[in-house]
Amino acid sequence: MLNRRTLLPGLLLGLWVALPAMACEPRTSLEQVYCQLQARGETLPAWADFRRNPPSTQRLLLSRPAHRAGLQLPDAEPVSGLPEHPAAPPIVTQETVREAAPAVVPQKNCRLQRYSLLCGDQEFKLSGNLPNSRLEEGALETGNQLLLEEVASSDRADMIDNYRRYIEAMLSIGLGASTMSYTKFHHVWRSAAERGESPSRRFARMFEYLKSDKQRLAVQNRYGSALPRDISWCSPLGELLWVCDQKESNWVYVRR
């Protein structure tokens, strides 16, 4: 049985802070729970940060305070429809494929089979979250750091390289099913830079919090049952990875 406490997810955009009561205008069932918890004085992330998270992460953020307050979270809504990527630079272009994954067979020669992605004779398996017993030695210690280059969000090749490092770091601590999509990663990076923050230090700090929580808290293999429906949702990321995303959902496939 899983620990009743839930792991602080990798998609967290803001740190937990105690906030005074503020006007709450929920648009979704999860936002309604947030407002109920806020009215009860629970410690929550900032309202703006909470809303920037995808529903799967909002659910994780609310799980512990909702359990303390005796509130039940609404059922997860299934992923549906075609991919709708915001205006952030897409990761799937022929130039991107050449820059980010020169050794990977082009997408037209690949096919998606739910938990596997096949490219020629290469097989990539869908990654889930892992218990600490399956991590490499030292994965949660101080020596394992997320070191990203301080680059402009407009530098596509450098941003994709940073995203690859982020995904690899999340895999190293067993959070392959709790990752940001490239679109979300790009948005968080750009937003931090526009506020005068160091994006690389922001992600590094987040990674340290995740390692600390992972040492103490249980994690489910996967949150939700949705899977990518078409190879067009997916793109290569280096030689060993593929990432697939649809709206706010993200899936990572690792070469066997």
pTM of the model: 0.69
Compute the average pLDDT of residues 118-133: 95
Domain boundaries, the chain: 1-77, 94-255
What pLDDT shows up at residue 225?
Answer: 85
What pLDDT shows up at residue 63?
Answer: 77
Structure tokens at 76: 């997860």
Closest CA to 150 of 203, 101, 91, 205: 203
196-247 pLDDT tens trace:
999 999 999 999 988 988 998 888 898 888 999 999 999 999 999 999 987 6
Q: How far are the Cα atoms of 32, 33, 40, 129, 237 from residue 27, in angstroms, in the given order? A: 7, 11, 19, 30, 35
Question: 251: which strand partners?
Answer: 244
**Which comes out higher in pLDDT, residue 64 or 205?**
205
Q: How confident is the model at residue 45 (pLDDT cuts 50, 70, 90)?
A: confident
